[in-house]
Chains A and B, each alone.
Chain A
Amino acid sequence: MSQQGYVATPPYSQSQPGIGLSPPHYGHYGDPSHAGSPPGMMKPAGPLGAAAPGGMLPQGHLPPGPHQFGQNGAHAQGPPLQRFPGPPPGNSAAPSYAPYPPSTQSSYPSPVSTSSVAQLGTQLSAMHVNSYGSGMAPPSQGPPGPPAAAAAFQGPPRSSQPSILQPGSQVLPPPPTALNGPGASPLPPSTHRQDGLPGPAPPNAQYQPPPPPGQTLGPGYPLQQANYGPQMAGAQLSYPGGFPGGPAQMAGPPQPQKKLDPDSIPSPIQVIENDRATRGGQVYTTNTRGQIPPLVTTDCTIQDQGNASPRYIRCTTYCFPCTSDMAKQAQIPLAAIIKPFATIPSNETPLYLVNHGETGPVRCNRCKAYMCPFMQFIEGGRRYQCGFCNCVNDVPPFYFQHLDHIGRRLDHYEKPELSLGSYEYVATLDYCRKNKPPNPPAFIFMIDVSYSNIKNGLVKLICEELKTVLEKLPKEGQEETSSLRVGFITYNKVLHFFNVKSTLARPQMMVVTDVSEVFVPLLDGFLVSYQESQSVIHNLLDQIPEMFADSNENETVFAPVIRAGMEALKAADCPGKLFIFHSSLPTAEAPGKLKNRDDKKLINTDKEKILFQPQTNVYDPLAKDCVAHGCCVTLFLFPSQYVDVASLGLVPQLTGGTLYKYNNFQVHLDSQQFLNDLRNDIEKKIGFDAIMRVRTSTGFRATDFFGGIYMNNTTDVEMAAIDCDKAVTVEFKHDDKLSEDSGALIQCAVLYTTVSGQRRLRIHNLGLNCSSQLGDLYKSCETDALINFFAKSAFKAVLHQPLKVIREILVNQTAHMLACYRKNCASPSAASQLILPDSMKVLPVYMNCLLKNCVLLSKPEISTDERAYQRQLVMTMGVADSQLFFYPQLRPIHTLDVKSTTLPAAIRCSETRLSEEGIFLLANGLNMFLWLGVSSPPELIQGIFNVPSFAHVNTDMTLLPELGNPYSQTLRMIMGIIQQKRPYSMKLTIVKQREQPEMVFRQFLVEDKGLYGGSSYVDFLCCVHKEICQLLN
């Protein structure tokens, strides 16, 4: 799923020697030739056919044919698995999990796994051990304890880690890891085991009723290559007919499991909890190259000892393959998700500021990398070798320092740039536009004052809020007051600029009606210091709602508004940020005028991508201009109908701004959410007029970038602004071999202007390992980062490729990665077993969530704007946000311990986890739902809502009442904690079981089958397994 792949170069299209898989379909976004099942697919059939009775052949003719074979094959092998009866009690494992025994159990009731250590043993020996397998791979993880962790991560021991696999293997950690799809042996339900239905178990099961093919597949995955859907369907049909009896034998498919027990498949919750248990609350030091950081969901303290904190950079894998062949073989994207301005908790050290004086930072003469811990000092400190390009440079005289006995400079620990992974340089004039120090940035507030906004009170709300929120403009370090300047514009079909110079008795309004060629009518007095002009500004904000009270102007413009703001910043010669409060489709005659083009008929066609593209070609050049002048655009949208988010959102996205959307905004309900967003957005840490450059050591390079960025060339990532919530995902490709010794080094440098108008360079360095063993690669992967990458690359591809193709590619690549592991890293095992590397245990479930996201789901029931909106949000998300977004947190509230401050343990997002007696809180970063079971405990209801019973609860609220009782307080605290650090204020919806709104809520139960399509986790797993089997054959 490399970017290139989308473009259609088929780097991976040829069979890899190593795997001998049929050509994956990567790289084929858009490549029509792959629309049909590739010929390659047929081949595998052959062998299978051989294995299977000849009877198979006829089936081959069925459309889904090839896949079936795969299945059959798997099944055929199934039997052996059957032997493992069982689920050896997980007890043996239990000890290691001591800390979380309860949770394990609760979440995995059955699991327990059936996996019997003993049984598995045999198998395991063949396969990689699952990390949890206490017995198996003791060294690896967790249990041992933190200290050891670091050590463990590296080196050989690792190998054991990856293990995952099959059920049985899971010896302990059972379920999660192994996903034996193969439900075969390990599967909990004994029944299954018997069947031994390997992997594709589910399908088989379905023979019967199970997942009615139609549904499962239908929606999400049409036919064609990767579709598991169809295949399954095919399978069903064919089996019966083709081999009545046969199949059963061969595959042992028949009766198999009725259904895969959900508890037996890897649980994201479990993985998160495990990581939290082993690494949470500890200190993670970044002193070693290539070490894998704790998950984003794990709280720990990070100590910078030479590599950038994972808060700044996370990678899809911390060990790069040495050669591009290996990379192609594994198909694991090599990418880093960089959040250069990530917020650092107060207990971690803020970045040091390094000043190298007038000459500017010391840089390598050849590759221009900045001085960093990867520079090797030689010749007694007179010269240094660049870690990136290996060029030997002279040390500038002012920077000279003697080396100690181990070749380290004596001032190693005094200079942040020598000993830390992240730090900042003071930039000299050479780094400034026109070689002039920048002016302090400005914020411009641009309010749509058309009829509807006046009428619904929004304008008044904004004006009132601005009065207080402007007090909290961000400031630099010890500054007394913010040096940011502010300006105000209102608009409908024309623009109104305001002169709020402090010397004026009253503000002056200047109307610009020439929207076709908008300009800035004033200079002095437009951008002012809030402190100085406070009274005039308040006067203005008081007047704005009055001024337009009688307006009945319905039409608005949009592009001219942005241009006006940009021109204002340009005229003032400063970077800045526009806050636009807009609510309607801009239909007035002006550049960027839009019409309603929301056409549901395009959905599910090749033209669907048009809905995600901007409607006119005005916005892209506008965005480019904005970026060129350091003008970031943040858009608050209050649509009551279609407003064409795809067009309106383009500039905010490309300029590093944020898009907020409040559907059918009602002041009395939604103010809080909006105001929180506004406050947060104004106050958050931000850098302006930024250019990011990612340098790498020789052998690989950054090839693609995703995020709120604009690229004029292939290397400079330009951002009008970048704030603490924005991440840029960078994909790397080999252009040579990497050496295991020197590893893969990354230096990300961001040149930007601070809120006080200083020019700075923020440097993040990260060293990764390299290995020629695929196993090392798989061991070092991070699923959360992978999903972030997959999501961004897929969402980017949405603009150019049919969604069907994109979905197929995602599925294929998932299968491919796993198949490669199975083929090359896992110990031999029955083909019917689904074996997952430990680091990718939850990849399938997350991938399924991604596939089910409304952006990728072609369903007319979902509003086009919402899809465009979510697509845009994801493009700038960091790993933590994307994790939560795709796999929401679901927490039971009824079990709340009001005396504890810890959050109730999360549970898996599935309806089966809910109970009528319970109350559950679900959050995904945008929305929060409080789900009330019909039999919710009245005392809880009373405590939370202050009403006597479930029936009395009024769901028409977006804020919980503040009641003095512990339930209320604790719940509100929990919600506060969940909301904390999230870039968007989540809108709270109260959902009562069995009432209409529950439908919305259900969409977030991502392990279940989607309301509008999208398979359930179990189904998807089966599908993937089938794909893998096919690839392996």
Chain B
Amino acid sequence: MATYLEFIQQNEERDGVRFSWNVWPSSRLEATRMVVPLACILTPLKERPDLPPVQYEPVLCSRPTCKAILNPLCQVDYRAKLWACNFCFQRNQFPPAYAGISEVNQPAELMPQFSTVEYVIQRGAQSPLIFLYVVDTCLEEDDLQALKESLQMSLSLLPPDAMVGLITFGRMVQVHELSCEGISKSYVFRGTKDLTAKQIQDMLGLTKPAMPVHPAHPAQPQEHPSISSRFLQPIHKIDMNLTDLLGELQRDPWPVPQGKRPLRSTGVALSIAVGLLEGTFPNTGARIMLFVGGPPTQGPGMVVGDELKVPIRSWHDIEKDNARFMKKATKHYEMLANRAAANGHCVDIYACALDQTGLLEMKCCTNLTGGHMVMGDSFNTSLFKQTFQRIFSKDFNGNFRMAFGATLEVKTSRELKVAGAIGPCVSLNVKGPCVSENELGVGGTSQWKICGLDPTSTLGIYFEVVNQHNAPIPQGGRGAIQFVTHYQHSSTQRRIRATTIARNWADAQSQLKHIEAAFDQEAAAVLMARLGVFRAESEEGPDVLRWLDRQLIRLCQKFGQYTKEDPSSFRLSDSFSLYPQFMFHLRRSPFLQVFNNSPDESSYYRHHFARQDLTQSLIMIQPILYSYSFHGPPEPVLLDSSSILADRILLMDTFFQIVIYLGETIAQWQKAGYQDMPEYENFKHLLQAPLDDAQEILHARFPMPRYVSTEHGGSQARFLLSKVNPSQTHNNLYAWGQETGAPILTDDVSLQVFMDHLKKLAVSSAC
């Protein structure tokens, strides 16, 4: 099916979209029988160096409930200067500017290759980007120092007209006034008291003096700067000031008695940050960057008490309903996240500590606002430093790879409705004709808000075919979907990116082959995984696994070729062949398994899984393993214990970790120092090859993966051993009788066992 693969790839490159099915079953009934829902992975701001934005505004369908954007799928009557909306079939006049339109003089948005168009909106005041640093000061001296340096460095990376603000917290929360001369001034809040937005604004003096409203003078935007000027200042004005201020930051001075955690008022600090922006720059792109070095220990949003002898909640505690603060804290952060999202502000969390920092409770802040979540051991590690630096990376045009305050709107043709989205977004609760009653992910709306996004931010969008079985679709009819993303570009421009795609309908009974062939198993795996992870947030782990298994079995039953009750007869076509394997690894992944992970880690992994694009997501589901040896060029090998051989160097990329593993023999050679001998230069090269490749990955990825270099028998080898398919374990090793690969000490089932069971169940008529 090379053609489909190409098609898929081409579509992805052009539109940033990949569908689970590229030919759509034409009725609701058949669609549900396909098991894997009709859905797509959408990267709204996929980088398109070849796509210059057009400097005008889109032409909209005039029907108030539709307002679809003119696109290549629309039928155009060049003589009458009319176009028909392909979603609602409304006939629209072209605006006057399009008077010169003709078959040979088409605007870009009508050309087929411009299924994705980016418009620049010239209207409206441009507000500068806002960065509000919220910094924990309950850190070790080294950590704080490193963090201060990172922050100071970041100032030089910001656009000069960006506004910055600084809030520090420990036992108290300090909002720093940045404009003062001679004395540094800050407003201090108690870390234990929950304040309403109104109170915070009153206390910071942000409430506008009751000003007579001049209807003729809606000079709202101009007022903002004056009100907020004390706390948010253009970087070029207070660069020096802020650098000094950061330099003078001290560790939280309150003594921490033996056996206690420092009192850390993260909840209040975040609440104040949200309140500050809410009061000064609502609906303007802003980034709250929260740096924490430990769990919140007091006030609203506290996650653990300050007694060190009481450890922070574990999955075990949560299952036993033993996590005292979890619900309340989660509620607090959810409330904040929703407020921030409503105002278009995104929240980043940079959590660096050896223990958990409460990401489980705080995750919604990043998940709902499209902020980044970064987890590390210390601020004084390259992992944090480089990750943080990468936030401010620029694209080929010199613009920051970040966008703010986006709304994503989905329009569908009549046969389809949108069922939901999974990704770093919140629902805008916009009902409309194309909203499905069934929800998958965040549903019940046709619009979502994504407060912060970058070129790789990816959402899963789920659809429902609503066409009734008995309402045939005209031959050659195509279903269409339009994604419209309004956002604030990092250059502060407002932009709209519109992507319109169409796929063929097919009758599942007569044309199942077509549909089968158009299955995108990679996209399907990721979309199903997202659904599973989404469910895992609210359901018990085993239930989710059972659901996944059931879906897989049903899929195999539907698309497998087999004789009933004969497992050995089971076959899957090429377009499905990898899918069960993805599911196998997904079941073992940290996204669904909490064993051996702390709640924070699970939240962290899930956070990234819900926003990375397809390639990265696949890596997360099924890590990639490369082998380097003298037997040939580097090659990918099976993620299987049998791949662990003594004379190989392995490079594993799990997205979160890069592991370089030296096989036993290689490790011995290295210890013997052969690489330093001129006659063994080739060995030196062999050692170097995976390092170079790893560097390449490290450079490109956000967040920076944990880099692990280990060897046979090394303690860190567990990273590798826990990922590979345990085809050889202590149970079956001797049965194989050969010395290949490394046995894994586990009771987990291997892929082989998994597949055997799957076949058995698929062919069983009992299901």
What is A's interface to B at a CB cutoff of 8 Å? 494, 496-497, 504-514, 517, 519, 521-525, 540, 543, 546-547
Chain A residues lying within 8 Å of B253, measured Cβ to Cβ, are 522-525
9 A-B pairs with the lowest CB-CB distances in the bound complex, closest first: A521-B188, A513-B203, A524-B253, A509-B185, A511-B187, A510-B188, A508-B184, A519-B190, A521-B172
| Nearest CB of A to B229, in Å | 14
Query: Is A510 within 8 A of B186, CB to CB?
Result: yes
10 contacts between A and B (CB under 8 A): A497-B188, A504-B248, A505-B248, A507-B183, A509-B183, A512-B187, A519-B190, A521-B188, A523-B255, A543-B182
Task: Identify which of B183, B189, B190 gathers the most chain A CB atoms within 10 Å of its CB.
Answer: B183
In the complex, the answer to whether B183 meets A514 with C-beta atoms within 8 Å is no
Are B203 and A514 interface neighbours, CB within 8 A?
Answer: yes
Task: Determine the residue in chain A with the shortest Cβ distance to B190.
Answer: A519
Chain B residue nearest to A513 (CB atoms) is: B203
Query: In the assembled complex, which residues on chain A have CB atoms less than 8 Å from the CB atom of B202?
Result: 513
Q: Mark B189-209, 1 if CB is under 8 A from A, else 0.
A: 110010100000011110000
> Is residue B458 contacting chain A, with contact meaning CB distance below 8 A?
no
CB distance from B678 to the nearest CB of A (A): 56
Q: Is B174 an interface residue (CB 8 A)?
A: yes
Do residues B184 and A509 form an inter-chain contact, with CB atoms below 8 A? yes
Give the Cβ gap from B178 to chain A, nearest Cβ, in Å: 13
Complexed CA–CA distance, A521 and B190 (Å):
7
* B525 → chain A closest CB, angstroms: 52
Interface string of B145-189 (1 = CB under 8 A from A): 000000000000000000000000000101000001011111111
Distance of B286 from chain A, by nearest CB (Å):
23
The smallest C-beta distance from A747 to any residue of chain B, in angstroms, reads 40
> A540 vs B204: C-alpha distance in the bound complex, in angstroms?
23
A525 surroundings in chain B (CB, below 8 A) = 253
Q: Please, which residues of chain A bring their CB within 8 A of the CB of B250?
A: 524
Q: Are A543 and B190 touching (Cβ within 8 A)? A: no
For the complex, give the distance between the alpha carbons of A629 and B255 in Å: 20
Question: What chain B residues lie within 8 Å of A512 (beta carbons)?
Answer: 187-189
Q: Which chain A residues lie closer than 8 Å to B595 at the CB level? A: none
The chain B residue with its CB closest to the CB of A571 is B254
Q: In the complex, which residues of chain A have a beta carbon less than 8 angstroms from the beta carbon of B184?
A: 506, 508-509
Chain A residues contacting B189 (CB-CB under 8 Å) are 512-514
A514 and B186: CB pair below 8 A?
no
Q: In whole angstroms, what is the CA distance A509 to B174 when docked?
A: 11
A543 touches B254 (CB 8 A): no
Given contacts A504-B248, A523-B254, A524-B253, contact A517 B190 (CB under 8 A): yes
- Known: A517-B190, A517-B193, A547-B183. Is A510-B174 also a contact (CB below 8 A)? yes
Q: How far is the CB of B16 from chain A (nearest CB, A)?
A: 47
In Å, the complex CA distance between A494 and B184 comes to 17
How big is the B interface, by class? 20 to 34
A744 to B359, CA, bound (A): 73
- Complex Cα–Cα for A511 and B649 (A): 59
Q: Please measure, in the bound complex, the distance between the C-alpha atom of A540 and the C-alpha atom of B187, giving whole angstroms.
A: 17
Task: Tell me, in angstroms, the Cα distance from A510 to B172 when the chains sit together.
Answer: 11
Cα A514 to Cα B193 in complex, Å, equals 10
CA distance A509 to B245 in the complex (A): 12
Residues of A near B186 (CB, < 8 A) are 508-511
How far is B174's CA from A511's CA once the two chains are assembled, in angstroms? 9
Residues of A contacting B204 in the complex (Cβ-Cβ under 8 angstroms)? 513
Residues of A within 8 A of B185 (CB): 496, 508-511
Nearest Cβ in chain A — how far from B69, in angstroms?
48
Q: How far is the CA of A523 from the CA of B252 in the complex (A)?
A: 9
Residues of A within 8 A of B205 (CB): 513
- Counting chain A CB atoms within 10 Å of each CB, which of B188, B203, B250 scores highest? B188
Complex Cα–Cα for A547 and B187 (A): 15
The CA-CA distance from A512 to B193 in the complex, in Å, is 13
Q: Nearest CB to that of B250 among chain A residues? A: A524
The answer to whether residues A506 and B182 also contact, given A513-B204, A517-B193 and a CB cut-off of 8 A, is yes
Contact A540 B254 (CB under 8 A): no
Q: How far is the CA of A840 from the CA of B20 in the complex (A)?
A: 111
Task: Scan residues 28-66 of chain B and give those whose CB is less than 8 A from a CB of chain A.
Answer: none
In the complex, which residue of chain A has the Cβ closest to the Cβ of B191?
A: A519
- B209-230 vs A, CB cutoff 8 Å, 1 = contact: the mask equals 0000000000000000000000
Q: How far is the CB of A571 from chain B (nearest CB, A)?
A: 8
Partner of B183, one of A506, A517, A524: A506
A514-B203, A521-B188 are contacts. A540–B172 as well, Cβ < 8 Å? no
Q: Is A511 touching B248 in the complex (CB atoms < 8 A)?
A: no
Q: Which of B180, B187, B254 is in CB contact (< 8 Å) with A513?
A: B187
Asked whether A514 and B190 contact (CB < 8 A) given A508-B184, A540-B183, A547-B183, the answer is yes
Which residues of chain B have C-beta atoms less than 8 A from A513's C-beta?
187, 189, 202-205
Q: How far in angstroms is the closest Cβ of chain B from A614?
A: 27
Min distance, Cβ B144 to any Cβ of chain A, angstroms: 15
Find chain B residues with CB under 8 A from A509 CB: 180, 183-186
CB-CB < 8 A to A524: which residues of B? 250, 253
State the CA gap A849–B215 with chains docked (Å): 69
How close is A544's CB to chain B, nearest CB, in angstroms? 9
Closest to B204 in A: A513
Closest to B188 in A: A521
Contacts of B180 in A (CB 8 A): 509
B residues in contact with A505, CB < 8 Å: 248
Q: Which residues from chain B contact A540 at a C-beta distance below 8 Å?
A: 183
Chain B residues near A546: list those with CB within 8 A.
Answer: 182
Q: Using Cβ atoms and an 8 Å threshold, which residues of chain B touch A510?
A: 174, 185-188
CA A505 – CA B248 in complex, angstroms?
9
**Told that A508-B248, A513-B203, A514-B190 touch, could you supply 9 new A-B pairs with CB distance under 8 A?**
A506-B182, A509-B185, A510-B174, A510-B185, A510-B188, A512-B188, A514-B203, A523-B253, A543-B182
Give CA–CA (A504, B190) in the complex, Å: 24
B190 engages A508 (CB within 8 Å)? no
A689 to chain B, nearest CB (A): 22
A400 CA / B432 CA spacing, docked (Å) = 100
Question: Roughly how many angstroms separate A497 CA and B253 CA in the complex, as a whole number?
Answer: 15
A508 vs B195: C-alpha distance in the bound complex, in angstroms? 25
* Shortest Cβ distance from residue A72 to the other chain B in the assembled complex, whole angstroms: 74
> Separation in Å of the A501 CB from the closest CB of chain B?
9
Give Cα distance in the complex from A543 to B183, angstroms.
8
- Assembly CA distance A494 to B190 (angstroms): 14
Which residue of B has the minimal Cβ distance to A546?
Answer: B182
Distance between Cα atoms of A540 and B193 in the complex (Å): 30
Which residues of chain B have C-beta atoms less than 8 A from A543's C-beta?
Answer: 182-183
Docked CA distance A505–B247 (Å): 12
> Could you tell me the distance between the alpha carbons of A519 and B203 in the complex, rounded to whole angstroms?
14
Q: How far is the CB of A450 from chain B (nearest CB, A)?
A: 15
Could you say which residues of chain B place their CB within 8 Å of the CB of A494?
203
Complex Cα distance, B504 from A563, in Å, reads 74
Nearest CB of chain B from residue A589's CB, rounded to whole Å = 10
How many whole Å from B200's CB to the nearest CB in chain A?
9
CA distance A506 to B247 in the complex (A): 13
B205 CB to closest chain A CB, in angstroms? Answer: 8
Specify which of A505, A507, A519, A543 lies most central, judged by the most chain B CB atoms within 10 Å of its CB.
A519
Alpha-carbon gap, A506 to B190, bound state (A)? 24
Query: Cα distance A885–B182 when bound, in Å?
Result: 48
A521 with B182: in contact, given A510-B188, A513-B187, A514-B193 (CB under 8 Å)?
no
Cα A392 to Cα B385 in complex, Å, equals 77
Q: Distance (Å) between the CB of A572 and the closest chain B CB?
A: 11
Counting chain B CB atoms within 10 Å of each CB, the highest count among A514, A524, A525 belongs to A514
Q: B236-258: which residues lie under 8 A (CB-CB) from chain A?
A: 248, 250, 253-255
Bound-state CA distance A497–B189 (Å) is: 12
Chain B residues with Cβ below 8 Å from A504 are 248
CA distance A1011 to B253 in the complex (A): 60
Give the Cβ gap from B472 to chain A, nearest Cβ, in Å. 68
CA distance A540 to B185 in the complex (A): 12
> Which residues of B are found within 8 Å of A511, using beta-carbon distances?
185-188
Shortest Cβ distance from residue A739 to the other chain B in the assembled complex, whole angstroms? 56
Closest to B251 in A: A524
A9 to B646 Cα, complex, angstroms:
103
Report the bound CA distance from A493 to B184 in whole Å.
20
